Structure 1
Amino acid sequence: MKAKRWFTTAASLVLAGSLIAGCTTTGGKTETSTSGNEQGSATTQGNKKAAVVNTYINGEIPTIDPNIAKDSYSSWVIDHTFEGLFVNDKDGVKPGQAKEVQVSEDGLTYTFTLKDGLKWSNGDPVTAADFEFSWKRVLDPATAAEYAYQIADYVKGAKEYNSADPKKLSADEIKKLRDAVGVQAKDDKTLVVTLKAPTPYFKQLTAFYTYYPVPKKVVEANPNWAADASTYVGNGPFKLQEWQKDKVITVVKNDNYYNKSTITTDKIVWNNITDDNTAWQMFQNGELNYIKSVPPAGIDAAKASGELKISPQLATYFYRFNTTKPPFNNVKIRKALAMAIDRQAIIDTITKGGQKPAFAIVGPGIAAQDGKNKEFRDETPAYFKEDIAEAQKLLKEGLAELGMTSMPKVTITFNTNAGHQKIAQAIQEMWKKNLGFESTIENVESKVWLARQSALDFQIMRAGWVGDYLDPMTYIDMWVTGGTNNNTGYSNPEYDKLVAASKVEKDMAKRDQILHDAEKILINDMPFMPIYFYTNADASKKELEGIYVPANRYPQFRYVTVK
């Protein structure tokens, strides 16, 4: 989720999703289905223990507006207060707000029918017009949504509207482009979406938070609706009760949610704790009952107590290079640094969560596109290898090409986190030992970290990516020229052509090969240094049950019960 999707914790991270069974129609065939302040885990409500999740985030949540959110912590809250046409439930991607969807034979037109009785948390009805308004708000150039490409790349006419320049076009011309976007509410319950090319994973995309609806009436009346609990309106299983900026955010069960009888959780509290070790101490003391990503110092204790929960995750930990400035405008230098570290040592001594060394960008957990019943990653496990002698050779050649005799001192920047710091220190020492140059490290708060990535204000930046959906494209298209999540300055026209070709290729075996060819180019250019593929290494108090973690999402708390 990403989606997106940015990482802000140490040993693992995830994005979004949840809920119920539904119906799907493909090629005319229809399938239908049925539709804080507390410490520790609970207080008593009569004979029932209140199901309260008390957890934390490390850093300020920038926004809980699904149209403009771009980071994992924001989406963690949004995924509980909003819901899309489809959702990532504990059993996989299923209809959420959609009752059914019919897909045309050519795969270009999706007709979504909404469930009966859908309501916003303020009691207003959720309509197809809210979805149309929301998607076009994302695309509106004035919104400047960094995830707009998630809609613009797929929906007919969306890119033209999103890329329009209001300074060069009249209001009528902008309106014409907006009206031409292939999203139309036919009536209150019918949303028709026209794609520019068949997209096998489009239903998965509608489960991503950029595709969530927002309340048209509320947003038009108050542009700052998402900044305060008193004006915040969602359509998910929980509603916002409290948001003290930089302190705590609390949601409670939403009585207007259409399927509220399945929601067993009473309250979720996210505390803002900027020291992961302090959070771990609070967990041990019972002040928190769930930890997203146990800090390295707590892994062994969590294992011993039986509270550590390790699960697969579609996510990659890596370092970005700023390819626009020396010395990282030289590919040989970038390759040298990537080849001169020991990934397994980092996993064995720091993260300790069963992660796998990464020698590519697309993480494990995505099926191959050619129907051969295996994973995409298994077809080409690695595109390079660790090789200190070759790294030394490449570094020397790269410096000579730049007219340098030695490596200048460079800085590794990371968002404040004990795990990120330990990894940076380890890599710093590996580069010193294996390549003979000094580097410095700096930690910045998450909000600054995000802003500096977008501004290319760094030399080497710690990063991570959670897949927004289960297709290799969730990793591949972020590196195209000018991509809003590229954040390295990288550009390769041949790569861009392959990405574009893969989006319209109908032969899945050919598409599979195109995606592998694109990834090979990307890794050969090395605008980033892959380090490891994540796992979830979380901790949960034993009395909590019902938490599930989709491979490409943060933990989901819809169905929590307390023993």
Structure 2
Amino acid sequence: MAVRRRIARAAVSALVVALAASLLAACTGGVGSGTGIVYAWSGEPQNPLIPTDTSENTGGRVLDALFAGLVSYTADGGVENEVAQSIETADGQNYTVTIEDGWTFTDGTAVTARSFVDAWNYGALSTNAQLQSSFFDPIQGYDDVAVANPTAMTMSGLRVVDDRTLTITLKQPEAAFPMRLGFAAYYPLPRAAYADMAAFGQHPIGNGPYRLANDDAWQHNVRIDLLSNPDYRGNRSARNEGVSFVLYSNLDTAYTDLLSNNLDVLDGVPSSALDTFQDDLPGRTVNQPSATIETFTIPERLPRFSGEEGRLRRQAISQAIDRQQITDRLFAGTRTPARDFTSPAVPGWTPDLVGVSNLDFAPDRARQLWAHADAIAPWSGTFAIAYNSDGGHQDWVDAVCNSIRNTLGIDARGAPYPTFAQLRTEATEHTIRTAFRSGWQADYPQQYGFLAQNYQTGGSSNDGEYSDPEFDALLRASAGATDPVEAQQLIDRAQEILLRDLPAVPNWNRNASGGWSEYVTNVRIGWDGVPLYYLVEKK
């Protein structure tokens, strides 16, 4: 939701968490009291909860609970119709969508075809400056509204036929396009949203399995309270009375709360507990592959990192990192060294792409590459990786920098930011002056989603501003290919360009690791590494 979304930060101080616990106890008689409310870990969302402007995990998980799209995803990444009754096409370019009758938002208004078309046009329009705008790039007319153009306010490829029918015309045939429509950027919005979108983002009105508990449901940096939605009619009916997301800024504090049953679901384990969490929580843990990758981005705009010199330096830095040693020592089997820019949990992954040797630990070759770059222009100064210190990232950043420093003989160090929001603001505004931690948690179960948003020219999460015409052309061709074998070959060729240029340095793929309290059952983690909150049952 940079990092659905962009890799989440482990989230507020022990004082705030203590306050949250006291509020929970005052309101419900204590966590685990049998009220049917599930208490789940999260962090303070970066932005107001607007589907097209939420590009990180903590906000994304709340939106997924509050909204329902045309399709939804099963636990293993399968696609099912949700609000859509049918999505039909004869050519893969022109789609007719019929939505089921009877869907409503939690303010009682009907979900109609216009609820989707207006929301998508709002998200795409350049003047609204939505972080997820490029998700609408495949739709005909997007290029007209994505730039300041007073004559184009809506995408020509969207049309409302009647209350239950809309049509979508794409720039080219894309058979896999309907699979993406369960992602948050494609959620519908009620008419009330447009009166004051900023206010709506603080009190969103959705059509999903949950609704906000009350007008004060989002207590910033404390918690977000949701109740089950009795009018929801989709595939994800809640088996609990609600979910309260407790907003932590320290993963160790969250883990302590889990051990004492003051937190029900935690989908992250602090480094201090990775060796012991399965013993600490017997029969109540998960450690499974998920569709995520963790990276750090080195923007070409940084001094000494443009052109051929920059490419050589990025390759040298990547080959100076001993990923296997770092994952073994720090992550206790919950990370796997990366072999591409996607994830083994997504169809099409292979560890054997041309250029994958740039992800090997090869000290001698790294020093040779650095020397070649120095022959173009000598290096001076410090190589720094920015990270948010409220997210538990210091250990791996220090380890990566130590590996770079010991291999290349340069000054390499971490650059901590106090909060996730501060780091992400500078990254998304393209003002950050160092390399910075990044990553991706899949929005939908396709490799295309990892690549398009992060590395395509103008991609919503292309915070390094990478641009390569050949990569863009290959990616677009892969989306339009009707033969799955050809589509995969084109995706692979696009990735090989990334493995050469390394606009971000892939570190490792992250397992979904976590645990749950003695007061809940039926805890499952989805294909994307996020708990399926609607399935959790409170004892």
Whole-angstrom CA distance in 1 between matches of 2:373 and 2:3? 35
CA distance 1:343–1:417, change in 2 (3 Å): farther
Letter in 2 for 1:450: R
> How far 1:271 sits from its partner (Å)?
1.8
Query: Can you list the C-alpha shifts for 1:92-116, whole angstroms capped at 9, x where unaligned?
Result: 2211111222x22212222222222
- Equivalent position of 2:475 in the other structure: 499
- Equivalent position of 1:535 in the other structure: 511
CA distance 1:185–1:2, change in 2 (3 Å): farther
- Equivalent position of 2:8 in the other structure: 8
Selected match of 2:381 from 405, 408, 419? 408
Whole-angstrom CA distance in 2 between matches of 1:184 and 1:211? 15
> How far 1:161 sits from its partner (Å)?
2.1
The alignment's C-alpha RMSD in Å is: 2.3
> TM-score w.r.t. structure 1 length?
0.86
> How far 1:186 sits from its partner (Å)?
1.4
> How far 1:129 sits from its partner (Å)?
1.1
Selected match of 2:270 from 269, 274, 295? 295
Selected match of 1:97 from 61, 70, 83? 83
Paired residue secondary structure (1:287): coil
CA distance 1:2–1:440, change in 2 (3 Å): closer
Give the conservation status (yes or no) of the 8 Å contact 2:240–2:537. Answer: yes
Paired residue secondary structure (1:310): strand
> How far 1:383 sits from its partner (Å)?
4.3
Is 1:317 the counterpart of 2:290? The answer is no
> How far 1:553 sits from its partner (Å)?
5.2
> How far 1:318 sits from its partner (Å)?
0.7
Selected match of 1:108 from 93, 101, 114? 93
> TM-score w.r.t. structure 2 length?
0.89
- Equivalent position of 1:174 in the other structure: 152
Whole-angstrom CA distance in 2 between matches of 1:455 and 1:397? 32
Give the conservation status (yes or no) of the 8 Å contact 2:10–2:248. Answer: no
Could you tell me which runs of 5 or more consecutive residues in structure 1 were left unpaired when the two chains were aligned: 12-35, 45-49, 369-374
Is 1:470 the counterpart of 2:442? The answer is no
Whole-angstrom CA distance in 2 between matches of 1:452 and 1:3? 14
Letter in 1 for 2:305: F
Query: Can you list the C-alpha shifts for 1:131-182, whole angstroms capped at 9, x where unaligned?
Result: 1111111112221112111112x2122232223x14xx4xxx224xx2x522
Whole-angstrom CA distance in 2 between matches of 1:350 and 1:7? 18
- Equivalent position of 2:502 in the other structure: 526
Whole-angstrom CA distance in 2 between matches of 1:260 and 1:203? 17
Paired residue secondary structure (2:274): helix
Paired residue secondary structure (1:547): coil
Selected match of 2:184 from 204, 209, 225? 209
Whole-angstrom CA distance in 2 between matches of 1:283 and 1:105? 51
Is 1:220 the counterpart of 2:212? The answer is no
Whole-angstrom CA distance in 2 between matches of 1:39 and 1:309? 29
- Equivalent position of 1:155 in the other structure: 139
1:67-466 superposed matches below 5 A: 67-90=52-75, 92-101=78-87, 103-152=88-137, 154-163=138-147, 165-166=148-149, 169=150, 173-175=151-153, 178=154, 180-216=155-191, 218-229=192-203, 232-241=204-213, 242-259=217-234, 262-304=237-279, 305-306=281-282, 307-329=284-306, 330-368=310-348, 375-377=349-351, 382-384=356-358, 385-402=360-377, 404=378, 406-417=379-390, 419-444=392-417, 445-456=419-430, 457-466=432-441
Paired residue secondary structure (1:191): strand
Paired residue secondary structure (1:536): strand
Whole-angstrom CA distance in 2 between matches of 1:418 and 1:133? 36
Q: Which moved more, 1:89-98 or 1:113-122?
A: 89-98
Give the conservation status (yes or no) of the 8 Å contact 2:116–2:188. Answer: yes
Whole-angstrom CA distance in 1 between matches of 2:514 and 2:356? 28
- Equivalent position of 1:18 in the other structure: none
Whole-angstrom CA distance in 2 between matches of 1:468 and 1:449? 21
> How far 1:41 sits from its partner (Å)?
5.3
Could you tell me which runs of 5 or more consecutive residues in structure 2 were left unpaired when the two chains were aligned: 12-23
> How far 1:538 sits from its partner (Å)?
1.4
Paired residue secondary structure (2:182): coil
Whole-angstrom CA distance in 1 between matches of 2:313 and 2:246? 41
Paired residue secondary structure (1:514): helix
Whole-angstrom CA distance in 2 between matches of 1:521 and 1:340? 20
Whole-angstrom CA distance in 1 between matches of 2:5 and 2:118? 23
Letter in 1 for 2:142: A
> How far 1:338 sits from its partner (Å)?
0.4
Query: Can you list the C-alpha shifts for 1:82-101, whole angstroms capped at 9, x where unaligned?
Result: 01000113362211111222
Paired residue secondary structure (1:469): coil
> How far 1:119 sits from its partner (Å)?
1.0
Q: What is the aligned residue count?
A: 512
Give the conservation status (yes or no) of the 8 Å contact 1:10–1:351. Answer: no
Give the conservation status (yes or no) of the 8 Å contact 1:413–1:458. Answer: no
Letter in 1 for 2:316: A
Letter in 1 for 2:121: K
> How far 1:310 sits from its partner (Å)?
1.0
Deviating beyond 4 angstroms after TM superposition, the runs of 4 or more aligned structure 1 residues are 36-41, 375-381
Whole-angstrom CA distance in 1 between matches of 2:381 and 2:104? 59
Is 1:517 the counterpart of 2:493? The answer is yes
> How far 1:266 sits from its partner (Å)?
1.1
Give the conservation status (yes or no) of the 8 Å contact 1:545–1:562. Answer: yes
Identity of aligned residues (%): 23
